[in-house]
Chain A
Amino acid sequence: MSLRDGPFGDLKVPLTWTAAVALIVAAVAAVAFLMSDRRETLQASAYGASKNVVDTVEAPVGGVISAPVRWAGAGIDGVRGYFFAISENRRLRAELIEARQWRDKAMALEDKTRRYEAILGLKTDPPIPMVAARVVMDARGPFANTRLANAGKEAGVVVGNPVMSERGLVGRVIGVADGASRVLLLTDIASRTPVMIERTNARAILTGDGGSDPRLDYLRGRDPVKAGDRLLTSGDGGVMPRGLPVGTAVKGVDGGWRVRLDSDYAPIDYVRILKFKDFTQAVSEAQLEASTASPPTTQAAQAAAPAAQAPAVAKPAAVKPAAAPKPKPAPARQPETAAPAAGADAAQPGGGQV
C-alpha cells in the first residue's frame, strides 16, 4: 500500500518549508561533524576509523585507476629518451664529471667529520630505515593538500613519519591504514615544519597555506635569509630528523619569505617514508610515569654520588640503549649512515636506509 492510499494521503505539506527544515537538519549534522573533527592536531587518535576505512578502499582503487596514466607516462618517457638520447648523454657526462668532484670532497669531509666525532665522543643519529611507496591519489585544493601512498601498517609506517620524494621533503604521515598512508603535504594549511636556513643556521617554521609555495614564519635574527638560500629541516622538536632538503627561499608577492619546494620540481609518483622515531615515540610515557627516580635534591645527589661513577646509571632512564650508537674510534666509511641530506640524494626508491 502506497502512502497516498493511507490516512496521510490527503495531507498537504508546504514543500518549501519542509525543504528548509531538511536543509537545517543536514546543516546541523554537518556542523556536528566539523566540530568533532580534530585533523589539525595531527595526532594518531584524531584520524578516525571512517577515514581509515576510506583510505583502505581508496588505495587499491587509486592504484588501478592511475595505472593507465603511469603506463602512458612511461611510454612518453621512452619515446623522449629515444629521440633525445644524444643530448641527454652529453648532459649526463657533464653532470658525472661534476658529481665526481663533489664525491671526492664529500669523502674527505666525511673522513674529517668521523675523526672529530671520535675525538669528541659524539653520539651521532642512528641510520633511519625507510619504505618506498607509490602515490595513488592526490588532493590538491586550497583547503586540503594530502596524498595517499600505498604502504601502511603492514610496512611498519606510523603516524608522524616524514615522507620524501627523490628530490626533497614532501610532508608527514597523518593517518595509517592497512595498505595505505595519508600524507599531509608541506603545502597543507595544517602543516607546520621546523626548518633552518643552511647558510645562516637561522630557524623558522614552514607554514602551509594551500598555495604551492609555503610561508616562512617566525624567522629570527637580522637578515637571516636571502633569495636562493637552501632550507633544511632543523630537527627541532624531534618531529623530523635534521638535514632533510626542503627547498629554496624566494620572495613572495606579499613581501614575505616563501619556499619553493624541492619536491615540486618533479611529479611525486614514488615516495620514501622514513621510519623515523621522534622523541615522543622513542620514550614510553608509561615508563616515564612509572619511574621512581627521586627528585634532584642535595641529599639525594650526595647519596647517589658514588653510584654516579658507573656509566649505566649516568644515562637518563628514558633513553633506550639501542637509540644511542656507540662512537666508533676507527673512521670506517659507512655510506648507509650518512647524514640525511646526503643520503636522501643518494638512495634509490627501493627501500633501505637513509
Chain B
Amino acid sequence: MSGFQATRPLDPWRWLVAPTLICVVATIFLAIPLRVFGLQLPEFVFPLAPAFAWAVIRPSILPPFFLLGMGLFLDLFWGGPLGLWAISLLAAYAGVLATRSVMNNQGPLVIWAWYGAACLLATGTAYMLTMLDSIAVPSLIGAGWQVLVNAALYPFANRLIQRFEDADVRFR
C-alpha cells in the first residue's frame, strides 16, 4: 500500500456509481415533455459534470468506461446515433485530463471557464460527428445554446470535485 493515505478514500460506489445513477435519473426526469410559458425546457447533458470532475480529481482506469456507458445510454434514450455522446463525453474527458496539470489549483472562475471549454469541446465533437454522419449541417444556434446550458451545470461538477479532490494527494 502506498504511504499516502487519503482522508476520504475513493470508493468507486461513491465517486463513480453514485454520480452515474444521479445523471441517469436526472436525464430521465428532464426528458418529460414539459413546456413552461410555451417554451420547451433546454436539454441538459448531465454526464458532462462527472466527465469534467472525474478528470480533475485524478486519472483512473474506470471513468472512461462509465462515460462510455452513460454516452450510450444518452444515445439510446434520446434516439440519436449510437456512440455520438459516448465519443463526445470521452473527448471532453480527454481534454480535461490532458490539461489538468496546467489548470489545477486555479481560481473558481478559471475552473468554470475550463468547464465551459470542456462543454464546448464535447458539443463541438458531437457537431462534427453529426455533420459526418448525416451529411448535413446542424443548427449553430441550437448547438451554442446547448453549450451555454451545459456550462450552467458547473456547480454540480464543482461539488463532486470538492467532495473528492483530497482523496488522493498524489494528484492534488
Contact = CB atoms under 8 A, between A and B. Distances in A.
A268 B33 contact: yes
B106 interface: no
Contacts of A142: 127, 130, 138-139, 142-143, 145-146
A267 B60 contact: no
- For chain B, which range describes its interface: under 10, 10 to 19, 20 to 34, or 35 or more residues? 35 or more
A236 interface: no
Contact of A211 (B33, B64, B139): B139
A209 B138 contact: yes
B33 A135 contact: yes
Interface string B98-134: 0000000000000000000000000000110110011
A189 B138 contact: yes
B146 A175 contact: no
Contacts of A15: 58-60
Given A22-B62, A210-B142, A210-B143, A267 B33 contact: yes
Interface string A231-250: 00000000000000000000
Contacts of B31: 62, 137-139
B161 interface: no
Contacts of A31: 83, 87
Interface stretch (A46-54, A101-109, A116-124): A46-54
A146 B78 contact: yes
Contact of A30 (B43, B62, B68): B68
Given A34-B133, A139-B43, A141-B146, A175 B33 contact: no
Interface in A8-35: 15-16, 18-23, 25-27, 29-35
Contacts of A136: 32-33
A139 B79 contact: yes
B33 A30 contact: no
Interface stretch (A36-44, A320-328, A339-347): A36-44
Contacts of A139: 31, 43, 77-80
B76 A26 contact: no
B171 to A, nearest CB: 8
A209 B77 contact: no
Contacts of A137: 31-33, 77
B140 to A, nearest CB: 9
Which residue of A40, A69, A209 has the most chain B CB atoms within 10 A of its CB atom?
Answer: A209
B139 A138 contact: no
Contacts of A161: none
Contacts of B146: 141-142
Contacts of B7: none
A182 interface: yes
A100 interface: no
Which residue of A15, A20, A65, A138 has the most chain B CB atoms within 10 A of its CB atom?
Answer: A138
A311 to B, nearest CB: 46
Contacts of B64: 19, 22-23, 25-27
A45 to B, nearest CB: 14
A34 B81 contact: yes
Nearest to A61: B28
Contact of A39 (B1, B80, B94, B136): B80
B139 A33 contact: no
Contacts of A184: 79
B32 A66 contact: yes
A210 B1 CA distance: 52
B71 interface: yes
Contacts of A146: 78-80
Given A15-B59, A19-B61, 20 more contacts: A22-B61, A22-B63, A27-B87, A29-B68, A30-B86, A34-B81, A34-B84, A39-B80, A40-B134, A58-B77, A137-B32, A137-B33, A139-B78, A142-B139, A143-B81, A143-B130, A146-B80, A175-B79, A190-B136, A210-B142
Interface of A: 4, 15-16, 18-23, 25-27, 29-37, 39-40, 48, 50-51, 54, 58, 61-62, 65-66, 69, 135-144, 146-148, 174-175, 182, 184, 189-190, 207, 209-211, 267-269
Top 10 nearest A-B pairs (CB, nearest first) are A34-B83, A144-B80, A33-B83, A142-B142, A211-B139, A146-B79, A139-B78, A19-B59, A30-B86, A26-B64
